[in-house]
Structures are given as structure tokens and as C-alpha cells.
């Protein structure tokens, strides 16, 4: 394994351009996004190595890395602060779902597109009348020859304004019990039957959208995992989503993502120092606790990756996702307190970068 680490280190040193190192993200691939030159070079080189989806089979654009090699790759990327070349719903959610449930034709058709980052994907699960009770969804897909015709509306579809494709939970058998009449279909968003309407939040931003389907069309060959099997397939996709947020999804690359300033640095910036320490004792104690929790979280993430037998862990993904979210929330609240009145103007995550 020593050779793999050395070769990886040397290759990354040589091939990761300066503009692809340091804090920040490479935007999820979309035909409509123009990339910075260094980011383009980095993405192309990683695609060639199969390292945008390092654990996927080579025939679908991956590099067939085993778990140990994958964790070495991530370590080495972090060492030089390389940004992950691709993350998002393509490589982290729908890609692994197709890998697990798709037919050979579906894998050959869709996975290389994901691996090359050629399309941005939206997620069409929630509806105005189906949130927590997702199985009540009413968006309908009716068979018409070799196609399905889709009608209905999906809400909270993140980033849909600049997405190319959407994976959608639709009702294919309205007469069956509600969990048994649902299918997961892939839909091209560039068609007249699909329209996207941004939802303006109280902050003024509109990262979420309503996506409306009016006689939108998709081929029957785009049903993943079989007709009326969408509840099982859709739940598996949610496991991949959760494990991505928990930092333990090994589909797609998760290297890099460093922050320019740590949470203690940010708090120090706003609260100031006394005798070389953060001035506010109570905040300092809470920061130490948060830092300990963050370190425990990272060790637990690594353990969960090492222990997982499948491509995405089962219950561990939910546990680690929840503790991760609570820890980040606590950190953001701490920072808001440190910022005082300035915290009203900025979101905590926008503070000193
Ligand atoms: C950051 C973010 C991004 C998202 N992106 C997407 C996306 O890309 N695509 C997508 O499809 N969806 C997306 N969602 C939507 C998300 O999955 C839904 O918000 C979620 O399914 C909950 O649905 P809802 O908002 O309608 O809440 P509701 O279902 O109305 O629930 C509101 C509250 O009532 C509680 N509640 C509901 N039912 C019960 C019950 N029976 N008993 C007790 N309490 C109950 C819930 O726990 C919750 O606290 C996103 C959400 C967030 C926050």
C-alpha cells in the first residue's frame, strides 16, 4: 500500500493546479456552468484517472479503488488542500443508487455522465402535500407507449434552476397501497413540460424551487429499480444522501473542503483576546467542548467508513448525520453569539472567510 500512497502523493502534487487548492468547492457539473481554468484542468485530470468517483468500476468512469486506497486518496488530497473535483446529487445520491439498482443499460447510459460531471441533478421528492409523509405523493406518471407522461409539482427542489436532470418519485399505480405504487424515474429538465419557479426565503435568497411537471415525458427505460419499487429505491437513495451529509459516503470524492479559518479563529476575531486566550471564558469552554465533539465526530466518521460493508452504511449514516448536524448547529450558534449585533446582518457561515 506504500506504493499507492507514494504514487498518489506524487501525482496529486504534479497535477492539482494551484487554483484547485484551498477553501471552496468546485460547483456541481452542469452544462450551464463555466468553470475557472484551473478547476477545468483539475476536473479533466481527475476524470481521466477515474478519481471523480474513485470506488466505482472502471467501465463506468471510476478507478475501482478499494476502501483502503480510497481513504489514502482522501488523506493525500487533504494534505495538499485539494478541492474535491466532484460532489453533489449526481455522484453522491443518484449515481450510487443506479449502481445498486440500475440495469446494465442504465448504468452504461447514466453513470459515465455522472462521473464526468456533465449534468447537475435536482431531487424531486417533496410535494406541497407530501413532506414527512412522503408516501402520500401525488405526482402521477401514466404510461403512454414507450414513455411515461408526468404531471404534478415538487417543492423544495434545491438548485433546480440550474439543473439538467431530476430524479423524481412518481405515482405509477394509484390503485395500489400508497407505498407500493411509487416509482423512481430520471427526467431531462430541458423540455417544455418542466418548469422551475424559485421560492424566495425570508433571507431573500432562493436556493429552493418549485418544479412543475405538465405532460413532461420520460422513457420507460428511465425507471430505476423497477416499476412500483420506488419506495425501496427512494429510501436507499436517502441513505446515500444522509451518509453524504455525515461525511461517510464513499461514492464520489470527499477530499479537501478545508475552511480558511477554524471556528476558534472566527470566535477570536469577534471576541478578542486576553492573555493570549479567547477573552470570554464561557465561550472558550463551550468552544473546547465543541472542538472535542468535532474531533470525536471525525474519528467516528472514519470508523463508520472502515466498518461499512456496503457502499453506503445503514443506521450509522443516520446517527453520524444527526450528530454532525447538531455539532455544526452548535458551532454556528456559538459564532452568532460571538458576533453579537453583527450576527444579525450575516449568516454565521459567511463570517470571516
Ligand atoms: C436544506 C433543505 C433542502 C431540501 N432539498 C430538497 C430537495 O432538493 N428535494 C426535495 O424533494 N425535498 C427537499 N427538501 C425538503 C425536505 O425533505 C422536507 O422539508 C421534508 O420532507 C419535510 O417536509 P415538510 O417541509 O413538508 O414538513 P412537514 O412534513 O409539514 O413537517 C413539519 C413539521 O411537522 C412534524 N410532523 C409532520 N408529520 C408529523 C406527524 N405525523 N406527527 C408528528 N409530527 C409531525 C415534522 O417533524 C416537522 O417538524 C429540503 C429540505 C431542506 C431543509
Q: pLDDT by residue (tens digit) across 252-271? A: 766 544 555 678 888 888 88
Instruction: Please tell me whether residues 81 and 168 are part of one structural domain.
Output: no
Instruction: Please tell me whether residues 103 and 38 are part of one structural domain.
Output: yes
Residues with a known catalytic role? 241
- Pocket of ligand 1, beta carbon within 6 A: 123-126, 131-132, 154, 156-158
Instruction: Please tell me whether residues 132 and 211 are part of one structural domain.
Output: yes
pLDDT along the chain (353 residues), means of 10: 90 95 69 81 94 94 91 89 86 94 98 92 96 97 98 96 95 97 97 96 89 98 98 94 81 59 82 85 90 86 70 72 88 89 63 49
Instruction: Please tell me whether residues 50 and 126 are part of one structural domain.
Output: no
Instruction: Please tell me whether residues 219 and 149 are part of one structural domain.
Output: yes
pLDDT given for residue 248 in this prediction: 77
Can you give the residue range of the structural domain that contains 339?
A: 259-350
pLDDT given for residue 30 in this prediction: 67
Domain contains 189: yes
| 132 alpha carbon – ligand 1 mean position (Å) | 5
| Ligand 1 atom 22: residue of nearest CA | 131
| 324 alpha carbon – ligand 1 mean position (Å) | 19
Three-state DSSP class for residue 280: coil
C-alpha angle 67-242-70 in degrees, rounded to nearest 5? 15
Sign of CA dihedral 5, 39, 325, 290: positive
Query: Could you identify the atom of ligand 1 that is nearest to the CA of residue 159?
Result: 8
Which one of 94, 113, 132 terminates a domain?
113
* pTM for this predicted structure: 0.87
pLDDT, tens only, 201-216: 888 888 899 999 999 9
Instruction: Please tell me whether residues 197 and 142 are part of one structural domain.
Output: yes
Domain count, the chain: 3
pLDDT given for residue 274 in this prediction: 85
Which one of 199, 216, 233 terminates a domain?
233
Domain contains 30: yes
Instruction: Please tell me whether residues 139 and 224 are part of one structural domain.
Output: yes
Which one of 88, 113, 138 terminates a domain?
113
Instruction: Please tell me whether residues 217 and 317 are part of one structural domain.
Output: no
| 113 alpha carbon – ligand 1 mean position (Å) | 30
pLDDT given for residue 348 in this prediction: 46
Burial 19-48 (b: 16+ CB within 10 A, else e): ebbeebebbbbbeeeebeeebebbbebbbe
pLDDT given for residue 132 in this prediction: 94
| Grid cell in block for residue 162 | 440550474
Three-state DSSP class for residue 102: coil
Instruction: Please tell me whether residues 134 and 229 are part of one structural domain.
Output: yes
Residue with grid cell 449514516, as numbered in its chain: 317
Distance CA 244, CA 67 (A): 16
Residues 6+ apart with CB under 8 A from 15: 42, 45
Domain contains 178: yes
What is the number of other CB atoms lying within 10 angstroms of the CB of residue 210? Answer: 18
Tell me, what CATH number does 194's domain have?
Answer: 2.40.110.10
pLDDT given for residue 25 in this prediction: 64
Amino acid at each position: 500500500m506504500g506504493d499507492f500512497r507514494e504514487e498518489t502523493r506524487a501525482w496529486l502534487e504534479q497535477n492539482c493546479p494551484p487554483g484547485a487548492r484551498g477553501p471552496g468547492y468546485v460547483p456541481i457539473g452542469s452544462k450551464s456552468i463555466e468553470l475557472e481554468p484551473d478547476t477545468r484542468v483539475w476536473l479533466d485530470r481527475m476524470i481521466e484517472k477515474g478519481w471523480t468517483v474513485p470506488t466505482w468500476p472502471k467501465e463506468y468512469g471510476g478507478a475501482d479503488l478499494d476502501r483502503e486506497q480510497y481513504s489514502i486518496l482522501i488523506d493525500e488530497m487533504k494534505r495538499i488542500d485539494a478541492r474535491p473535483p466532484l460532489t453533489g446529487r449526481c455522484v453522491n445520491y443518484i449515481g450510487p443508487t443506479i449502481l445498486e439498482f440500475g440495469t446494465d443499460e442504465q448504468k452504461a447510459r447514466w453513470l459515465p455522465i455522472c462521473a464526468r460531471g456533465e449534468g447537475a441533478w435536482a431531487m424531486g421528492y417533496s410535494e406541497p402535500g407530501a413532506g414527512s409523509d412522503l408516501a402520500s405523493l401525488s405526482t402521477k406518471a401514466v404510461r403512454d407507449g414507450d414513455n411515461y407522461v408526468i404531471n404534478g409539482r415538487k417543492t423544495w427542489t434545491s438548485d433546480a434552476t440550474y439543473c439538467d436532470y431530476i430524479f423524481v418519485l412518481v405515482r405509477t399505480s394509484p390503485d395500489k397501497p400508497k407505498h407500493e405504487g411509487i416509482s423512481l424515474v430520471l427526467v431531462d429538465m430541458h423540455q417544455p413540460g418542466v418548469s422551475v419557479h424559485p421560492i424566495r426565503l425570508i433571507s431573500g435568497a432562493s436556493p429552493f424551487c418549485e418544479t412543475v411537471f405538465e405532460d413532461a415525458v420520460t422513457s420507460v427505460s428511465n425507471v430505476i429499480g423497477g416499476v412500483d419499487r420506488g419506495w425501496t429505491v427512494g429510501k436507499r437513495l436517502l441513505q446515500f444522501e444522509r451518509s453524504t451529509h455525515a461525511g461517510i459516503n464513499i461514492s464520489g470524492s470527499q477530499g479537501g473542503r478545508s475552511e480558511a479559518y477554524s471556528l476558534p479563529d472566527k470566535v477570536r476575531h469577534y471576541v478578542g483576546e486576553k492573555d493570549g486566550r479567547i477573552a470570554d471564558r464561557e465561550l472558550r469552554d463551550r468552544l473546547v467542548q465543541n472542538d472535542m465533539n468535532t474531533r470525536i465526530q471525525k474519528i467516528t466518521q472514519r470508523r463508520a467508513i472502515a466498518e461499512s460493508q456496503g457502499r453506503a452504511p445503514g443506521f450509522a449514516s443516520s446517527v453520524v448525520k444527526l450528530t454532525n448536524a447538531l455539532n455544526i448547529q452548535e458551532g454556528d450558534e456559538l459564532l452568532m453569539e460571538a458576533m453579537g449585533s453583527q450576527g444579525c446582518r450575516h449568516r454565521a457561515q459567511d463570517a470571516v472567510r
